[in-house]
Structure 1
Amino acid sequence: MPVYDYACACGTRFEFMVPSWSSPAPDCPGCGAETTRRPPSPAVHGRAAPPASMSSAPQSWEGLNSGDRDTITHWRRQVEARQEFESRHPEHREHRDAIAAHEGRFERKPLTYKELASRAAGGKDASTAAAEASRDRRTGGTGGGSGSDPA
């Protein structure tokens, strides 16, 4: 037998087990008046949302309120929940490239190892390629030619 929530005009709210959904509402246990069935709570409806995406996590020290312990703990839990969610639902997995630099000029558009390798492929070393990427971020250019990765 299902359990339903009921409410009375006198303010009394209660749960009551009835034979079926079409059963008449029971009288109020407080005043004896007629009651009405209340909608079930949101938990019964199953309104679930996936955890925050990894891309919404802070990318810098400043994004973590300069290392605030509560902020770090909050985001660590968010990231762990997302990782667990993605392990159960691989179709929701986000593609992420490893980040080589994410501060200073790279705060808004991190330098990925993929982009760094692409820039260094022309015979440059990694330091020269990173300096070139920094200049391009400052001027808004692409610099690396067709081989640079926009992400």
Structure 2
Amino acid sequence: MPVYDYACSCGTRFELMVPSWSSPAPACPDCGATTARRPPSPAMRGRAAPPPSMSAAPKSWEGVNRGDRDTITHWRRTVEARRDFEERHPEHREQRDAVAAHEGRFERKPLTYRELAARAGTGGDATQAAAEASRERRTGAPQAPS
């Protein structure tokens, strides 16, 4: 049974669960006059959805239809809308770290500079830290330091 909003000419507004949309309008609970169904509030007309995430944006020349001006404009506006959304709703902010490696073993889970710095922090060697991260991604388990 749907819930509808009703209004009376006396100023009374109320909600009522009715059997169907074709049910007759109920009488006003205050004055007994005939009521009218109010249009639904804007929130009830559709579903609110946040703008697409930053990770959905194209990352290559082919992703923007080889530099198509309309596609680039569309994605620029989409990214700006997402930025505005994340400023208003920080709980939806995506983590965006700079990527140090994204090919080969790092294709599915890129190596970020944050991870690289944390690994190199103990030994001070970024090359060795990247190799260690690569071994971990190959085997799926953390490796003992050598």
Q: Report TM bin, short chain.
A: 0.5 to 0.7
81 and 115 in structure 1: CA distance in 2 versus 1, 3 angstrom threshold? same
| Cα displacement string for residues 98-149 of structure 1 (whole angstroms, at most 9, x for unaligned residues) | 322223321210111221112112224112211221232223232377xxxx
State the SS of the aligned residue for 2:108.
coil
In the alignment, the residues of structure 2 paired with residue 128 and residue 67 of structure 1 have an alpha-carbon distance, to the nearest angstrom, of 39
8 Å CA contact 1:119–1:144 kept in 2: the answer is no
Give the percent of matched residue pairs that are identical in Structure 1 and Structure 2. Answer: 64
Matched, 1:87 2:114: no
RMSD: 3.8
Q: How does 1:24-63 map to 2 (within 5 A)?
A: 45-57=45-57, 61=60
In the alignment of these two chains, the number of paired residues is 109
Q: TM-score, normalised by structure 1?
A: 0.51
State the SS of the aligned residue for 1:120.
helix
In the alignment, the residues of structure 1 paired with residue 103 and residue 71 of structure 2 have an alpha-carbon distance, to the nearest angstrom, of 17
Indicate the residue corresponding to 2:126 in structure 1.
126
State the SS of the aligned residue for 2:122.
coil
67 and 116 in structure 1: CA distance in 2 versus 1, 3 angstrom threshold? farther
Q: TM-score, normalised by structure 2?
A: 0.53
Matched, 1:22 2:36: yes
Indicate the residue corresponding to 2:18 in structure 1.
none
Moved over 6 A (4+): none
| Cα displacement string for residues 43-66 of structure 1 (whole angstroms, at most 9, x for unaligned residues) | 9825331111234445x649x549
Shift of 1:82: 0.9
Q: 1:69 aligns with which of 57, 67, 71?
A: 67
